């Protein structure tokens, strides 16, 4: 689902995305404000939930984490625990199989650190590559994530076919 072509969003929100995208600023500046506004719109203007920029815990930072550009976590005020997260990367991540695999791996890795902290039965997460997204759902009781990870199609080779995970971010 492309965020910019969806008719579900208010025109003002779509205008914010289009304006920031057309300004050709740095990636963080281009998407940080619009996605912050989107999350605050979705979770309401009350004080039950709050949106925060998030840095991964030090123990989770690996070479893949250095590629994280913007990570938002929505917290439940009462428990300061995550109830939703959104990881945003540039459009170029959708173009290469290796980047898509890394983005998927990062999302699953986030669940390893956040799922047990979630006060709800499910922790939802969205991976965004530019304006395309892939939705994930972690089940706290089963400690599992859907969609299931797609196996590497060439287990004996480290080279991914160009179409690997193509079309998952819509």
- Total Cβ atoms within 10 A of residue 133: 18
Domains of the chain: 11-146 (3.90.1570)
Over its C-alpha atoms, the chain yields an Rg (Å, rounded) of 16
The CA–CA distances, whole Å, from 129 to 83, 115, 116, 119, 168 equal 21, 22, 26, 27, 11
pLDDT by 10s per residue, the chain, length 170: 455 556 778 888 888 888 877 776 676 677 788 888 888 888 887 888 889 887 655 544 454 445 556 788 998 888 889 999 999 988 889 999 999 999 999 999 999 999 999 999 999 999 998 778 999 999 999 999 999 998 877 766 778 889 889 888 88
Q: CB-side exposure of 87: number of CA atoms within 13 Å?
A: 27
Predicted TM-score of the model (pTM): 0.81
């Amino acid at each position: 689902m492309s965020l910019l072509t969806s008719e579900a969003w208010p025109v003002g929100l779509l205008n914010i995305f289009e304006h920031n995208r057309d300004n050709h600023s740095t990636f963080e500046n281009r998407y940080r404000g619009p996605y912050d506004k989107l999350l605050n719109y979705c979770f309401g203007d009350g004080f039950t939930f709050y949106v925060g920029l998030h840095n991964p815990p030090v123990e989770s930072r690996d070479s893949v984490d250095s590629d994280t550009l913007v990570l938002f976590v929505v917290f439940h005020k009462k428990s300061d625990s995550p109830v939703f997260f959104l990881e945003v990367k540039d459009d170029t991540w959708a173009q290469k199989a290796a980047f898509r695999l890394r983005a998927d791996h990062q999302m699953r890795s986030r669940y390893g650190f956040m799922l047990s902290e979630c006060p709800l039965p499910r922790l939802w997460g969205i991976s965004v590559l530019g304006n395309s997204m892939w939705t994930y759902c972690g089940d706290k009781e089963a400690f599992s994530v859907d969609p299931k990870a797609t196996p590497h199609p060439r287990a004996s080779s480290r080279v991914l076919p160009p179409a690997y995970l193509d079309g998952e971010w819509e």
